Amino acid sequence: MPANQENEAMSDPREWWQVALSSIGDAVITTDVEGRITFLNPVAQTVTGWGLGEASGLPLEAVFNIVNEETRQPVENPVVKALREGVAVGLANHTLLIAKDGAERPIDDSAAPIRNSRGEVIGVVLVFRDVTARRKAERALQESEERFRLLVEGTQDYAIFMLDPQGNIASWNTGAQRIKRYRAEEIIGRHFSSFYPREAVERGWPDEELRRAAADGRFEDEGWRVRRDGTQFWANVIITALRDKAGVLRGFSKITRDLTERRQLERAKLNAEVMADLSRRKDEFLAMLSHELRNPLAPILNAVQLLRLEESQDPLHQEATTIIERQTARLARLVDDLLEVSRVTTGRIRLQRASVDLRAVVEHAVETARPIIEQRRHELSVSLPSDAVWLFADATRLEQVIVNLFTNAAKYTDQGGRIEVKVDRSGEEAVLRVRDTGLGIAAEFLPSIFDLFTQAPRSLDRSQGGLGVGLTVVRRIVELHGGRVEAISAGLGQGSEFIVHLPLMPPPDSSAATHQPAAQPARRWRVLVVDDNQDAADSAALLLRRAGHQASTAYSGSEALEAALADPPDAILLDLGLPEIDGYEVARRLRRKPVFDDVLLVALTGYGQESDRQRSQAAGCDAHLIKPANIKKIEEILESLASQRRR
């Protein structure tokens, strides 16, 4: 059949076909066997900018101008390829269509040969679409995925990685490398149970985590995990099951946080609470221990003072009395050190400051420490300035500092050694030096010499060591005064030197000094001694009587109230730890009665903490003395209180 006749026969089907192609949403162009345009549907006309009338008969390249998006080079005409190969072909990715007006649009397309009833190629149909919106969406998705990748890979505080459905590691971020210390090439492909302690692996815990995550969609846990080097860390773990649209499990995401520091802080906080409770119990124990130790010390010291009053000429009597007195004082010092442990560690040392001449404090401390210095036959050299060295300080606490330094020097210096004490000024500071020719301090020991419970190593024959509290107390008291203390030694066997620096104050204004009244003759006191330790009460009463005072005793709170009401004394020495009615309640009941307004109440007790002093003062006591107290101290307190009341 001739071609023109065949075309006429196809006229009706062609019209129907063009109508159909015009109705679809994609752009459609058809060509003849030579690649000339025979049809453009409305979408193709819009995309290319060419109308059907002006495009018909033109080569496809004139209307369908396509280039590579990246290289800008022409792309092979798909119609030519379809005609040549006789098969459907598609465009390569990143193809741009340049419209008649120069506008560029990314497209994808396919071209297929058109065949007649005999199978002969008589043209090509080209179907394409503008993929600008899709390309933007793809680009946005790529950018989002890139940002997410950068976010995940750049996160260092979290280990973020993927697992396949069997639990093998499929990805690895920077945080995972930092926390778990594996490089990606070392760990990817291995099972994630590599991060679990052996006992967790043996009981199947990693697989159980995956099972729960798969069943519930998410699993969270905290526990110990293992790093590459074998060290463990406390981790928070979140495992999320990843499923596709059909619900098929594709793997898991795993996020791990290192919470070791937080756990340590929580445990430390708990140990603060436990330690606080232990500290409270320790304070209570030390207070009770010191009380129980002071109770027997008091009658021992009273008995020694009674022996002193005998004025015996028997050398053996005198030597025995001296030994008992010295060892009793040493035991009392150890008891005080027990309480200083609590005061130092909890910061409960309180200063009673006034204008103080450091020279007087040193002289008093020398007299206090002289017995141990003389016992060990040391040579003592004291060098003080001719003028007063004024400090704004607590004289009692400063004396404690100096006595501790003297005692320390005496303990660690062999018999017949030398101890030198020197006070001078340096700029705005007073400088106290205590130097000895004793044991010395090793260089490695110097930095910790002031630490609590620290003592220099000593041989078994060196029995003068205390509790390792003295130097810690020294440093704390000096620092509370705004000063500092240092230790110097050339080494073992080379002696030691302790140097205390304290801020000076201007000399007190002499014009502001008040007139001191003339000394009053010593008063004879009527004293009631109250103590459930009968030996302590009786020995104190004996001392008072030997000193010229009247003294009576009571051994309980009820006896004290009865005796005091029957014959009110001038003063009451009151033990606080009494059975049934304690000393605090005795003081409160007495103070409620006007007849006792002028009676001096002095707590004489083994309880010496600040809280005990506050309680005794609140109960109505005028003073608080710690056992053992000698008769001279008792008389001084009574005279001082009486003098204050007269003013």
Calculate mean pLDDT across residues 43-48: 92
The more confident residue out of 90 and 601 is 601
Q: How far is CA 366 from CA 350, 371, 378, 380, in A?
A: 24, 9, 13, 9
pLDDT digit string (tens) for 581-602? 999 999 999 999 999 999 999 9
pLDDT tens-digit profile of 469-492? 678 888 888 999 999 999 999 989
DSSP alpha helices (H): ranges in 393-530?
395-411, 470-480
Residue 560 has pLDDT above 60, yes or no: yes
Q: Is 492:439 a contact under the CB 8 Å cutoff?
A: yes
Contact 187, 169 (CB under 8 A): yes
pLDDT (tens digit per residue) in 151-193: 666 667 888 899 999 999 999 988 899 899 999 999 999 999 9
**Beta bridge partners of residue 432, listed in sequence order:** 423, 500
Decide if pLDDT at 233 tops 90.
yes
Beta bridge partners of 436: 419, 496
Determine the pLDDT at residue 629: 82
Q: Are 345 and 452 in contact (CB under 8 A)?
A: yes
Arithmetic mean of pLDDT, 193-215: 94
Spatial distance between the Cα atoms of 621 and 63, rounded to a whole number of angstroms: 115
Asked if pLDDT for residue 401 goes beyond 60, the answer is yes
Specify the residue for token string 């000063």.
483
Other CB atoms within 10 Å distance of the CB of residue 593: 13
Query: What's the pLDDT score for residue 460?
Result: 35
**Amino acid 112: pLDDT:** 87
Which of 130, 160, 193 delimits the end of a domain?
A: 130
Q: Among residues 223, 258, 293, which one ends one of the domains? A: 258
| Structure token digits, residue 342 | 């609590």
What distance, in Å, lies between the first and last C-alpha atoms of the chain? 149
Q: Are residues 162 and 94 in the same domain?
A: no
Do 492 and 537 lie in one domain? The reply is: no
Q: Is residue 233 part of a domain?
A: yes
Helix, strand, coil shares, percent, the chain, to 5? 45, 25, 30
Span of 190-194, 357-361, 575-579 with lowest mean pLDDT: 575-579
Q: Average pLDDT, whole number, for the chain?
A: 84
User: What pLDDT is recorded for position 514?
Assistant: 43
Q: What is the pLDDT of residue 38?
A: 92
Same domain, 395 and 502: yes
pLDDT at residue 225 above 90?
A: yes
Say if 277 falls within a structural domain: no
Q: What pTM did the predictor assign?
A: 0.46
At residue 50, the pLDDT reads 93
CA 231 to chain centre: 22
Number of domains in the chain: 4
Domain encompassing residue 395 = 349-507
Q: How far from chain centre, in Å, is Cα 290?
A: 33
User: Residue 462: which pLDDT band, with cuts at 50, 70 and 90?
Assistant: very low
Query: Average pLDDT, stretch 124-146?
Result: 80
Whether the pLDDT of residue 429 is over 90: the answer is: yes
393 and 533 belong to one structural domain: no
pLDDT of residue 83: 83
Do both 569 and 443 map to the same domain? no
Q: What is the DSSP string of 482-514?
A: T-EEEEE-SSTTS-EEEEEEEE--PPP-GGGPP
> Are 372 and 484 within one domain?
yes
Cα–Cα nearest to 367, from 399, 319, 335, 323: 399
Provide the pLDDT for residue 313. 73
The answer to whether 502 touches 486, Cβ cutoff 8 Å, is no
In terms of domains, do 379 and 502 share one?
A: yes
Q: Give the domain CATH number at 422.
A: 3.30.565.10
Does a structural domain hold residue 592?
Answer: yes
pLDDT at 511: 47
In a domain, 301, yes or no: no
* Own/partner pairs, 583-586, CB within 8 angstroms, 24+ separation: 583/530, 583/557, 583/616, 583/619, 584/615, 584/616, 584/619, 585/557, 585/619, 586/530, 586/557, 586/560, 586/561
Lowest-confidence segment of 225-239, 335-349, 431-445 by average pLDDT: 335-349
Token digits of residue 607: 């309880």
Q: How far is CA 182 from CA 172, 174, 201, 521, in A?
A: 9, 10, 19, 89
Query: What's the longest Cα–Cα distance across the chain?
Result: 165
Residue 159 forms part of a structural domain: yes
Which has the higher per-residue pLDDT, 17 or 158?
158
Task: For residues 324 and 317, give the distance between their C-alpha atoms in angstroms, rounded to a whole number.
Answer: 11
Same domain, 486 and 585: no
The pLDDT tens digits for 243-283 are: 988 999 999 999 999 999 888 887 777 767 777 777 677 66
622 lies in a domain? Answer: yes
Instruction: Note the pLDDT of residue 346.
Output: 60
357 DSSP β-pair partners: 390
Q: Across residues 501-509, what is the average pLDDT?
A: 89
Q: What's the rounded mean pLDDT across residues 435-455?
A: 82
DSSP, res 601: E
344 part of a folded domain: no
Single-letter amino acid, residue 113: P
Residues 480 and 380 in one domain: yes
The Cα 517–Cα 457 span in angstroms is: 53
Q: Residue 545 pLDDT > 60, yes or no?
A: yes
Q: What is the pLDDT of residue 463?
A: 45
> Is 593 among the domain residues?
yes
**Average pLDDT in the 403-413 region?**
89
Instruction: Indicate whether 528 pLDDT > 60.
Output: yes
Q: Do strands 104-115 and 390-393 pair parallel, antiparallel, or not at all (unpaired)? A: unpaired
Residue 130, pLDDT above cutoff 80:
yes
Mean pLDDT of 360-378: 88
Residue 362 sits in the same domain as residue 498: yes
In degrees and rounded to multiples of 5, residue 629 shows phi and psi of: -120, 130
Chain position carrying tokens 């463990």? 232
Same domain? For 237 and 381 the reply is no
Q: Are residues 357 and 501 in the same domain?
A: yes
Q: Report pLDDT for 340.
A: 64
Q: Give residue 556's pLDDT.
A: 94
End position of a domain, from candidates 224, 258, 292: 258
CATH number of the domain within which 203 lies? 3.30.450.20
